[in-house]
Amino acid sequence: MARADRDAPSKAPISSKLLIFPNYAGCWPRERVCSRLVRTDFVTPLRSILIKRLGLRTASLTICKTPTAMISKLLWEREGMTQDNRGAVNHRLKWIGIGMLLISLAIGSGWGIYKLPAPLVDRMLKVDILKQAELWKRRVVLHLEDPETALKTGVIDAHDAEFLAAMPEASDVYRFKLLDSNGRVTWSTRPTEVGSVENRDFFRSDVARGMIHYIQEVVPLSEIDGLDLHTDNILNATQHHVAEVFMPVAKNGRFIGAIEFFTDISDLRTTFISRLRISLTVLSGIALLALVAASFASYRANRLQLRALQNNPPKSVI
């Protein structure tokens, strides 16, 4: 009987000197205000002050023994409120960072869409033009009766001359020259160039050793022969991109001369750049939309989880 009395919870009356504070260490865990509030002349006004001024919840208040406990619990509660505010600030900063990241990605995508297509298209066109130049060289060499003599002396019969003069009308080449092994022009679609010499260093260092040399440059419209046959963009552009290719010609492994071709690549280049920019714009837009959707889904999930925690706070184990 005596043991049962000792194990029974204490029924001692609660003095008005006891204070109401948050439920932390130093409080009486068995006397929760949320279940039974001791209405005394000292406790009730203090409870109202804690709830109204400090924003404490009634369910988190317990009866504490000393003023020291009061101070520690008030500081703890304020620290909790500071942590909540800090969490809100961190949440805002996180989303500001995500917004800045999206803006940076959009700016970077715009810069890439504007800058990247041109060098990519130029490299692609170079590969294509070099393949076509090989075919152009074969047409010329195979049609000439004596290619070595034609390259060295420029002596060409009437039939070959007629074929060479008609070649710009039947291909994308608007101009070409025949050069001997020293770089002297022996025949050209422009008769005024016959006898001139190619003095640029690459001819002796590259072309004379059997290497193909490719040059892309911008020239005015007046430099393009047969403009109506080789471009559609006559009125909208004053400058055109031209590919200049030096194709070496060899006989029995010996360099005997070269053929220089000129072709206008402006229309093809403009078309490919426009299509590539459109493709990059679509792909960049899809990627940015996917990133925005993922960020928004994460934001909604976090908000729902936070709201659920606010509506159903975890109960403290007493």
**123-176, pLDDT tens digit by residue?**
999 999 999 999 999 999 988 888 888 888 888 888 888 888 888 888 889 899
| Top-confidence residue, 295 or 248 | 248
Residues 6+ apart with CB under 8 A from 36: none
As a residue count, the chain comes to: 318
Return the pLDDT at 177: 92
Q: Measured between alpha carbons, how far apart are the two ends of the chain, in Å?
A: 27
* Residue 115, φ and ψ in degrees, nearest 5: -95, -35
Q: Distance between CA atoms of 236 and 239, rounded to whole angstroms?
A: 9
Out of 1-10, 64-73, 168-177, 283-292, least confident range = 1-10
Q: What is the chain's mean pLDDT, rounded?
A: 75
Look at the block and give the residue holding tokens 């130049």. Answer: 133
Return the pLDDT at 168: 85
* Sign of torsion over alpha carbons 229, 232, 235, 238: negative
- Cα–Cα distances in angstroms (integers) from residue 39 to residues 19, 20, 81, 92, in the given order: 12, 11, 28, 43
Task: Return the H-helix or E-strand segment holding 137.
Answer: helix 117-143
pTM over cut 0.75: no
Return the pLDDT at 124: 93
Give 295's pLDDT tier (boundaries 50, 70, 90).
Answer: confident
Return the pLDDT at 23: 43
Return the pLDDT at 176: 92
| Top-confidence residue, 30 or 121 | 121
Give 275's pLDDT tier (boundaries 50, 70, 90).
Answer: very high
Please choose, from the candidates 228, 248, 229, the residue with its C-alpha nearest in 3D space to the C-alpha of residue 171. 229
Return the pLDDT at 10: 46
Q: Three-state DSSP class for 77?
A: helix
Return the pLDDT at 308: 76
**261-273 residue pLDDT tens:** 999 898 889 899 9
Q: Distance between CA atoms of 142 and 133, rounded to whole angstroms?
A: 14
**194-213 residue pLDDT tens:** 989 999 999 999 999 999 99
CB 136 within 8 A of CB 163: no
Out of 12-16, 264-268, 299-303, least confident range = 12-16
Across the beta sheet with 61-64, the strand order is 19-22, 61-64, 27-32
Domains and CATH numbers, the chain: 14-77 (no CATH), 117-272 (3.30.450.20)
